[in-house]
Structure 1
Amino acid sequence: MPASASFSVDLDKARELVNGRIDQLSEDLRHSVNKALHDNPELAFKEFIAHDTLTAYLERLGFDVRRSTHGLETSFEATLGQGGRQVVICCEYDALPRIGHACGHNLIATSSMAAFLGAAHALSALEMPGRLRILGTPAEESGGGKAVLIANGAFDPPEDVAAAIMAHPVSAHSLHARDSGYSGLAGLLFLASHKFRVEFGGKPAHAAGEPWNGTNALDAAVAAYCNVAVLRQQIRPDERIHAIIEEGGVASNIIPDYTRMNWSVRAPSMGGADKLLERVRKCIEAAAMATGCTHEFIKSPTYMNLRANDTLCEAYVEDMARIGEKVQLHQEKPYTASTDMGNVSYTVPSFHGAFAVPTAPDVAIHSPQFAAAAATDEAHAAAIKCSKGMAMLALRVLADGSMADAARRDFEQPDPVE
């Protein structure tokens, strides 16, 4: 691959412009974005308040915003610049049922928005070539919004995108770092995850009067759950299987003729996840066969494992050090969660880091306690610091052809976890 074009940029000046602009906007972002989203949590593909809040904020700052893009009502994008390489900053903003922003997506939206605005300010002031785009990505928690966006052309042509960038808040203890001085992680690794529902069909009957005339769909769901519970002893420590019964019947005196389960099957690689899925599938089929029920698999978008790009991670660590933040380059052990940013990391060179939010030692994401922590001033400050590193990463990829080429080479390497 021939070397891409490079452009002479005073990185110290760029850093000064980025940091100054983000600091200038921080308090406004705290109230107009961070708090607005945290106070109004919304679920997958229904993030209407978040969509309108974020697009209105960009428009207030003079950006030409496209709303409801790429076939999704709650996606959006704004682009600055013309010609040259393109960097996409991904922005998440969906929440979880009942526990709101317990994954801190209000902070992701804040950090991504700040990174875009800081980098856009420097890009314009320094008259740099290249294109910078912020892309609203709904439905990360469920529904695989980024997988849908990929299918609908949001990253087309993929060779045109030099990097996709975002970061996720985590509890400090989940960094698994021996050195407690780390405030973040660059090379975050997440598992592949097959997500699907299973519907069992039976036959209703009076549960006391003549149960022998019924076919119990709840028995099928319970048997499937128990079969997989037995299987769990025989899977690898970094694999995960979990399920809930979403519908289990309507009354205790009626044999349930319909039940529905929601499943996730995770492994470090796509190959491993595929193999584990087949084992789980047999557990479910056996439950249907044993109870005489019908069953149907309803697939959701698969979340591919998240790949770390060494070139992008190293550059981020360098720039965070410039503002006094010590960021771990690679994990000491995997983080057993999943994200649809994994799909993006298989489509274009990608950076998905993590920044630590102050919490009590036993607080994990996807808990009410983390939702409360995500609303604090300290969490906002962590998101703002992270945004400065991401903004500089975007500018360096746009300016430095050798870095963009190196990131592309990293992307084209086979997945090391397969």
Structure 2
Amino acid sequence: MKQIDPENEGCGGALEQSFQVIYDAIESKSLELRDINRKIFDNPELGYAEFKAHDNIVVFLQSMGFAVTPHAYGLATSFRAEFGSGGRVVAFNAEYDALPEIGHACGHNLIATASIAAFIGLAAMLRGTNLPGRVRLIGTPAEEGGGGKLLLIDAGAYKDVDACLMVHPTPPWPQVPAGTIQTTGSAYGTTNANVKFNVSFIGKPAHAAVAPYEGVNALDAVVLSYNAVSMLRQQTRPSDRIHSVILEGGQRPNVITASTKSQYYVRSASLKSARALKERVKNCLDGAALATGCKVEYELINEYADVRCNKTLSRLYTTAMANLSSPVDCDFDNPTVIAGSTDQGNVSYACPSIHAMFGIRCPPGVANHTPGFTACAGTDESHDRAVITGKAMAVAAWNVLVDDEDASNVRKDFERDILLERWDPENFDWL
């Protein structure tokens, strides 16, 4: 993949020496960061119930003298820490929710660690220079389907933010052809948007042996709709994904099922195209209701937007990672595309953002959301990789705070992305 040349792009040069303040501040809290990481990993908590993670991080930050608001923005397991005054605002998102049964199989313990490290490093830089600018660390609960960042957006958490950064672990970054620099992750890419909703079919119960003709079978409706959607998949685009499960399918075989409930995730390359695909899925569901005589009801869970990664932020992060001897992919013509979804996408619609990826060592075939990845996310080596990304995020964010040209370019990139559909679904070309 094409690389951004750190000699010609990004901050570099005269500012490089001063970054040692960031590195030293983070290293000075090495033991504490490892302890926080281990506490989150060893005590996996589901979305909106991350009380131990919340409390441990808040206590740690308060012990360093930071002003921290626990239970921030009306969410019991969110927090907000801030340092500095005046100037521009940069934010780091700390995720820490786990998955049912398999714990931190998405490595949110590492995400939290990286963002906490970045906050500590950038706060030290601001303290040492006394320049205007603010750094904010936001505890963001319930990324795994719960849409915590959507609630934070509604509460105004990002209203004044000039740049928001976070990183996410993945299995080892793909090998590259001989003669090409081996990279450790990606600074520029996107994810699929995801529209989630519940579907209820309402029929009429009857004795399945004595008087089946008096019933209206909601189970038939859900089965027919499932098969109809399966047919639809043949005519969807390569980036599209449709998943569903039957949550409630009846109680007894000898009773005509009066009601069923299923859940759908509809993914596509952009929020616009995901919403359009959802309408096609609904046509299948409406058709099944009509065919079986059932009523159908819909309940929107939430919508995760696609990530609109900011080019200038990606460039700054790429340069920072190269200076830390951890080069990452950053190809504006061929961005990394992740089929999964995240509520960081919604943040990228609200303010300039990146959602960088970093590889951690895992056995072949291990992927996110598997027990194997849980084990990978808990190693000391993975922790060290997260700390490196935290240093790079702090450096990138520093340039947004102090460099007017970088800050202006970040804003221009964001405004352009908001006006454009980043993905053209007619020809699959990145715009």
Q: TM-score, normalised by structure 1?
A: 0.92
Structure 1 pair 333–388 and aligned structure 2 pair: CA distance change class (3 A): closer
Alignment-derived partner of residue 202 in structure 2: 201
Is the CA contact 2:103–2:374 (under 8 Å) kept in the aligned structure 1? yes
Mapped pair 1:172 → 2:167: no
Matches within 5 A, 1:34-73: 34-73=37-76
What is the aligned partner in structure 2 of residue 183 from structure 1?
Answer: 184
Counterpart code for 1:107: L
Q: In the alignment, which residue of structure 1 is the partner of 2:423?
A: 417
Deviating more after overlay: 249-258 vs 333-342 = 249-258
3-state SS of paired residue (2:422): coil
One of 14, 21, 32 as aligned partner of 2:18 = 14
Deviation string, structure 1 residues 349-390 (Cα, Å, up to 9, x no partner) = 112101101111211111111111111112111111111100
Aligned pairs for 1:17-416 (under 5 A) are 17-31=21-35, 33-156=36-159, 160-173=160-173, 181-330=182-331, 334-413=337-416, 414-416=420-422
Q: Secondary structure at the match of 2:24?
A: helix
Give the Cα–Cα distance (whole angstroms) in 2 for the partners of residues 191 and 377 of structure 1: 31
Match of 1:3 in 2: none
The Cα of 1:39 is off from its aligned counterpart by 1.7
Count of aligned pairs between the two proteins:
405
Q: Structure 1 pair 379/251, CA: closer, same or farther in 2 (3 Å)?
A: farther
Q: Deviations over 1:170-195 (max 9, x none)?
A: 1125x586557110110121111111
Unaligned runs of 5+ in 1: 1-8
Q: Residue 305 of structure 1 aligns to a residue in which SS?
A: coil
Shift of 1:209: 4.2
The CA deviation at 1:12 is: 2.9
- Deviation at residue 266 of structure 1 after TM alignment: 1.0
Gaps of 5+ in 2: 1-12, 425-431
* Percent identity over paired residues: 45
Deviations 1:300-323 (A, max 9, x none): 221111111111101111011111
Q: Evaluate the alpha carbon distance shift between residue 206 and residue 37 of structure 1 in structure 2; reply closer, same or farther with a 3 A threshold.
A: farther
8 Å CA contact 1:192, 1:268 repeated in 2: yes
Contact map agreement 2:83 2:123 (CA 8 A) in 1: yes
Partners of 1:247 and 1:43 lie apart in 2 by: 22
Q: Decide whether the 8 Å contact of 1:288 with 1:295 is kept in 2.
A: yes
Within 1, Cα distance between the matches of 2:123 and 2:421?
Answer: 32
Shift of 1:128: 2.3
TM-score (norm 2): 0.90
**Matched residues in 2 for 1:28 and 1:61: separation?**
11
Q: 1:415 to 1:123 in 2, by over 3 A?
A: farther
Deviations 1:266-289 (A, max 9, x none): 111222112211111101111222
Write the letter of the residue equivalent to 2:373: F
Separation in 2, partners of 1:57, 1:320:
27
Counterparts in 2 of 1:208 and 1:182: CA distance versus 1, 3 Å: farther
CA distance in 2, matches of 1:35, 1:257: 48
Conserved? CA contact 2:40–2:109, under 8 Å: yes
8 Å CA contact 1:177–1:332 kept in 2: the answer is: no
Q: Which amino acid in 2 is paired with 1:76?
A: F
Mapped to 2, the partners of 1:222 and 1:49 lie a distance apart of 42
